Chains A and B, each alone.
Chain A
Amino acid sequence: MAHSYTPGLTVTDYTVVRRRRVLPLPGTVLVKAGDQVRSDQAVARAELPGKVYPINLANQLSIAPDEIKEYLVKKEGDLVQKDEILAENKPLIKWFKTEIRSPITGTIESLSTVTGQVLLREPPRILDLLAYIDGTVVEMIPRQGVVVEATCSLVQGIFGIGGEVWGEVVVAVRTPDEPLSPTHVKGEMAGKIVVGGSFLSAETMAKAKEVGVAGIVVGGIHDKDLRALLGYDLGVAITGTEQVGFTLILTEGFGTIPMESKTFKLLSAHVGQKASISGATQIRAGVIRPEIIIPRAVKPAGAVTQPQREGIRLGDTVRIIRDPLFGRIGEVSALPSDLTKIPTESDVRVLEVMFPDGSRAVIPRTNIEVIEGA
């Protein structure tokens, strides 16, 4: 197959990203094309319809559904306060009087003479959609949102949890293979994006929560610690809405895996700068990977945006993404075109990787990731 390789995650010092910021339902766009926006600025607003409460008046008043209009005190479209009388019967003896009161403050949305139901709706809730990244509005999507563009450094992670947050980048470890321990997490890291090394333990997660860090970027974690953090076993990798106290981004995977040195160097170079991060991951029907976006005002000298890659070449730096050599990094030293039998007896397309110590290994092409621009 011409395209038989896994494109790597983007780790680049300079690129231009565009993020579509779209409301979940039509609303008002608050900015215009060309506007500079900040990550915490609202760019669009929608009114989320309030919750609906059905009340079956016919049942409660013991009347036929088509009679409910005769018993209603209020009519369709009227505003009602909580505990205000909606409907009542008029018995001869007052003692038998039944009053139906509104359980909420809202409006009477509809009546049904077929079912005897009244639907009440709470007032709408305002939803502000924030810009998420510092940048420029480059496109308006009428009634829906905008596209924000930013020149930035970009690091894509492999997996994350938690939503969009922003804060100052702080690197807590000295080397990419150093695990992030509780002692690395200090009080002054509250509200910041903490970059760790190879591993995040359950103890460090607890400390991070206690301190109130905004986000953590780290090489790997154990699945059991993730389960403890979430309170359940994650079955399908569709994330982004978890609320565990901070947003977590893994750059490498599950287990103790040193952060790729290019990623670590890049993040280290931006200490003290503001980053917008999102843990949202979706590895199915439209891949979304977690990301760290560090906007930059000026283009670094000699930087070029990387073109889309078309395939894999000799000399490319690759990371092995499957056991037994999971996490090892090397250079492509041969690209045989014929199918090769691997120990499982499958005939697959392979490549040869040479490691820094000069040793070589034959790996299925689907089991490597190109480290872009390494």
Chain B
Amino acid sequence: MVPAESVKIDRPLNVIVATDCGSTTTKAILIEKIGDEFRQTYRGEAPTTVEAPFEDVTRGVLNAIAEIEELSGRKILDGDKIITPCRDAKTGVDIYISTSSAGGGLQMMVTGVVQNMTGESAQRAALGAGAIVIDVLASNDGRLPHEKIERIRSMRPDMILMSGGTDGGAVTHVVEMAEYVAAAEPRPRFGVTYKLPLIYAGNTVAQPQVKKILGEKTALEVTENIRPVLERENPAPARHKIHDLFLEHVMQQAPGYKKLIEMAGAPIMPTPAAVGLIMETIARREHLNLIGVDIGGATTDVFSVFEGVFNRTVSANLGMSYSISNVLVEAGLANIMRWVPFTIDEQTLRNRIKNKMIRPTTIPQTLDELQIEHAISREALRLALIHHKSLATALKGVQQERTISDVFEQQTSGKTLIDMLKLDLIVGSGGILSHAPRRIQSMLMMVDAYEPLGFTMLSVDSIFMMPHLGVLSTIDEKAATDVFVRDCMVYLGTCVAPIGQGKDGERCADYEIAFPDGKTVKDQLKFGELRLFLIELTRKATITLQPAKQVNLGAGPGTPVTREVQGGVVGLLLDGRGRPLQLPADQPSRIAALTKWFSAVGLYPTASE
């Protein structure tokens, strides 16, 4: 993620208009200071206009802002100009800011020497800056030299990030990779005639050779080493450079972006970088371990902050519209079907998924179509988290001190940082989660996909304004935090999921819940059960659980736990389905189990509703 490069604004900011230019839609929000706090007041959206016939991103921006004008009665536009600063109570805004992922976002290729060391460090740095990494090349990636060169030639990235070697270490492999890149003469995705931006963030000793080899052929920028020593990653300088080059080179090639940059009062950020920034801000402010997910039409971004370490990954081909068919390819039909509470023949389902792919803006109109989309989203979320876990790891290649007790553990370096038991909060974003007709649907989709362990809070982004707030936080953190807390986050509630397995109907845990109104409930949670209790958004309840002897709630098998749990628009979900979650293998029992769970939490309307 790009760290906040605070922009100095010397006037008070009371009215802010922010846009996010997505691949298909440009979303605008108006933020106003009401009393002492900032609130998001109006929103508008319009199709993104990067493509023909408009080929000017600002058209979509102006259309989206015009919608806010209509709704709010505030005059913001003067022809093609945004009126800044405010002239009076109903005219103008104090600043306009924007993020962008239009045109497919920022696509990067990264190189390293050892694939799971500098290769991964470079990948993490690029992902953290909001890029989609289209390939990772490394000296030991198993490809022959000419295959590497062919690969570089055939890719058309927006930018290349080269890393490799610790400072003062051997230069040969880094220089060799530079030679491959030079031989391939890579060309950028947009603009046939301009030089491809390339960032070198490897062994400092190799800088002169790299400059000699690549200085002429690319728009080379040299920065500090991403991995100066094996034990430490230093991604910030490379991320800064990526952000600078994104603005200076890549965005200058996209239609209308020069105008957009001039219109904006702060640097335009890549959308995922802005989302990452706001996620990191929440985690820091609340001292939380969190996982954030943004499931879009084309891609799924996963963010995590564990023990203060931020990571982001993007699964470029997992999404709910353009990439929906790829979810089917990657997850397999059986994995999708296991979440569908009715039978449907394979051909019909395949054709339906393909029809959604080719007409991505359509929405489910019937309940069974909605249930199919929710089934697919569970798999997309699950696969994206698996991908994230594989990259959000401790540094690999670092020597570890071991004691005699570690001898039998056989643990290698590079263990994933994602510990579901230590996870405090899951934040969901993206159409399928933000716009689910019932909030419990979003909650259960995330619970089924992520299988949280122990106690986990869940929330969703109400109308997908995290990108806007991310960029806003770089100029006014208070405004961003105010809006985030009051208008953006919708707390769904808490999920309590005991770890362990048992036969359906067997005792999983005894529980006692003390509700905020003084009422208490004492009962038994059985294996195979889901139970939902209403606890208001701003209230907390106290729950004491006495798990069965093979069941663990974080304190050890059979050990009782008492915790305060946060309410939400859904409430408290007790998940007695066991972890890892296993669905019945045969179809009738699986459908029966799904039907029982769905009705226990009121997931979908029934015939009588």
A-side contacts of B329, CB under 8 Å: 233-235
Query: Is A3 within 8 A of B63, CB to CB?
Result: yes
Task: Report B-chain residues with C-beta under 8 Å of the C-beta of A281.
Answer: 358
Q: Bound complex: CA of A346 vs CA of B329, how far in Å?
A: 28
Q: Residues of B contacting A255 with CB < 8 Å?
A: 351, 355
Chain A residues in 8 Å Cβ range of B149: 51-52, 54
User: When A115-B179, A222-B351, A284-B322 are in contact, do A323 and B366 touch as well, CB less than 8 Å?
Assistant: yes
What's the Cα separation between A114 and B205 when bound, in Å? 12
Q: Is the CB of A285 within 8 A of B23?
A: yes
User: Which of A22, A119, A121, A236 touches B179 (beta carbons < 8 Å)?
Assistant: A119
Interface assignment of A82: CB less than 8 Å from any CB of chain B: no
User: Cα distance A222–B347 when bound, in Å?
Assistant: 7
Write the chain A residue with the least CB distance to B350: A223
Contact with B along A175-214 (1 / 0, CB 8 A): 0000000000000000000000000000000000000000
B193 at the interface (CB under 8 A from A): yes
Determine if A286 and B51 form an interchain contact, defined as CB atoms under 8 angstroms apart. Answer: yes
**Bound: A143/B191 CA distance, A:** 13
A49 to B150, CA, bound (A): 11
Q: Which listed segment binds A: B118-126, B168-176, B586-594? A: B168-176
Q: How far is the CA of A285 from the CA of B145 in the complex (A)?
A: 32
Mark B420-435 against chain A: 1 for CB-CB distance below 8 A, else 0.
Answer: 0000000000000001
Count of B residues near A, CB < 8 Å?
67
Contact B183 A109 (CB under 8 A): yes
Residues of B within 8 Å of A159, CB to CB, are 358
Among A39-79, those with CB < 8 Å from B are: 49, 51-54, 65
Contact A115 B357, beta carbon cutoff 8 Å: no
Chain B 181-216: CB-based contact to A (< 8 A → 1; otherwise 0): 011110100001100000000000000010000000
Residues of B within 8 A of A117 (CB): 176, 179
B410 within 8 Å of A (CB atoms): no
Chain A residue with the shortest CB-CB distance to B437: A345
Q: Report the separation of the CA atoms of residues A233 and B297 in the bound assembly, to the nearest whole angstrom.
A: 19
Q: Is the CB of B322 within 8 A of A224?
A: no
* A366 located at the interface, meaning its Cβ lies under 8 Å from any Cβ of chain B in the complex: yes
Q: A115-B172, A237-B357, A253-B358 are known contacts. Are A283 and B365 too (CB-CB below 8 A)?
A: no
CA separation between A322 and B366, bound complex, in Å?
Answer: 10
Q: Contacts A114-B209, A236-B323: A342 and B365 contacting too (C-beta < 8 A)?
A: yes
In the complex the two chains form, is B175's CB within 8 Å of A112's CB? yes
Q: List A348-374 residues whose CB lies under 8 Å from chain B.
A: 348, 363-364, 366-367, 369
Question: A325-348, CB under 8 A of B: which get 1 and which 0?
Answer: 010000000000000001111101
Q: Do residues B325 and A235 form an inter-chain contact, with CB atoms below 8 A? A: yes
Residues of chain B within 8 A (CB-CB) of A222 are 347, 350-351
The reply to whether A322 and B369 form a contact with Cβ atoms under 8 Å apart is yes
Minimal Cβ-Cβ distance residue in B for A345: B437
A3 and B47 contact, CB distance less than 8 A: yes
Task: For A224, list chain B residues within 8 Å (CB).
Answer: 346-347, 350
Partner of B325, one of A22, A23, A237, A346: A237
On chain A, the residues within 8 Å of B353 by CB distance are: 223
A3: chain B residues within 8 A (beta carbon): 46-47, 63
Contact B366 A344 (CB under 8 A): yes
- Interface majority SS (helix, strand, loop, mixed), chain A: loop
In chain A, positions 113-152 with a C-beta closer than 8 Å to chain B are 114-115, 117, 119, 121, 143-144
- A165 part of interface (Cβ distance < 8 Å): no
Q: Which residues of A contact B435 (CB under 8 A)?
A: 346
Nearest chain B residue, comparing its CB with the CB of A6: B361
Give complex CA distance A342, B176 in Å: 60
Q: Mark B316-339, 1 if CB is under 8 A from A, else 0.
A: 010000110110111000000000
A245 at the interface (CB under 8 A from B): no
B362 contacts the other chain (CB 8 A): yes
Return the chain B residue nearest A361 by Cβ. Answer: B365
Cα-based distance from A3 to B66 in the complex (angstroms): 12
What B residues does A121 contact at CB under 8 A?
Answer: 183
- How distant is the Cα of A281 from the Cα of B47 in the complex, in angstroms? 20
With an 8 A cutoff between CB atoms, is A26 at the interface? yes
Asked whether any CB of chain B lies closer than 8 Å to the CB of A305, the reply is no
Does B146 lie at the interface of the complex (its beta carbon under 8 Å from any beta carbon of A)?
yes
What 0/1 readout, one digit per residue, does chain A (284-295) give for beta carbons within 8 Å of chain B?
A: 111100000000
> Of A1, A343, A348, which contacts B367 at CB under 8 A?
A343
The residue among B51, B298, B364, B367 with the most chain A CB atoms within 10 A of its own CB is: B364
Residue from B45, B180, B358, B362 within 8 A of A366 (CB atoms): B362
Select one of A54, A237, A283 contacting B145, CB under 8 A.
A54
Is there contact, CB below 8 Å, between B47 and A22? no
Closest A residue, CB atoms, query B349: A223
- Note all chain A residues with C-beta closer than 8 A to B44: 1
B50 within 8 Å of A by Cβ? Answer: yes
Tell me whether A324 and B355 are in contact (CB under 8 A): no
Docked pose: A284 CA to B23 CA in angstroms:
7
Note all chain A residues with C-beta closer than 8 A to B150.
51
B249 close to A (CB within 8 Å): no
| Bound complex: CA A2 to CA B103 (Å) | 23
B59 to chain A, nearest CB (A): 11
Among residues of A, the one whose C-beta sits closest to the C-beta of B146 is A53
Q: Are A22 and B184 in contact (CB under 8 A)?
A: no
Taking a contact as CB atoms under 8 Å apart, the answer to whether B365 and A65 are in contact is: no
B355:A25 contact, CB within 8 angstroms: no
B79 at the interface (CB under 8 A from A): no
Query: A283 touching B175 by the CB < 8 A rule?
Result: no
Contact mask B46-79 → A, CB, 8 Å, 1/0? 1100110100000000010001000000000000
Q: Which A residues lie within 8 Å of B322 (CB)?
A: 236-237, 283-284
Choose among B104, B352, B354, B438 the residue with the greatest number of A CB atoms under 10 Å from its CB.
Answer: B354
CB within 8 Å of A: which B151-176 residues: 171-172, 175-176
Q: Which residue of B lies closest to A58 (CB)?
A: B172
Interface residues of A in 273-302 (CB under 8 A from B): 281, 283-287
Which residues from B are CB-within-8-Å of A344? 363-367, 369-370, 437
When the two chains form their complex, are residues B193 and A26 in contact, meaning their CB atoms are under 8 A apart?
A: yes
Cβ–Cβ < 8 Å partners of A284 in chain B: 23, 104, 297-298, 322-323, 360
Report chain B residues within 8 Å CB of A98. Answer: none
Residues of chain B touching chain A, judged by Cβ–Cβ distance below 8 Å, are: 23, 44-47, 50-51, 53, 63, 67, 102-104, 145-146, 149-150, 171-172, 175-176, 179-180, 182-185, 187, 192-193, 209, 297-298, 317, 322-323, 325-326, 328-330, 346-347, 350-367, 369-370, 435, 437-438, 605
Q: Could you list 8 examples of A-B contacts with CB < 8 Å?
A: A2-B67, A6-B362, A115-B176, A283-B322, A285-B23, A286-B51, A321-B359, A344-B437
With A54-B149, A284-B360, A321-B355 given, name 5 new contacts (CB 8 A): A2-B63, A115-B179, A233-B328, A236-B323, A344-B370
The 7 A-B pairs of least Cβ separation, nearest first, read A235-B326, A285-B104, A345-B437, A223-B350, A254-B351, A322-B362, A284-B322
A residues engaging B (CB < 8 A)? 1-3, 6, 22-26, 49, 51-54, 65, 109-110, 112, 114-115, 117, 119, 121, 143-144, 158-159, 222-224, 226, 233-237, 253-255, 281, 283-287, 308, 321-324, 326, 342-346, 348, 363-364, 366-367, 369
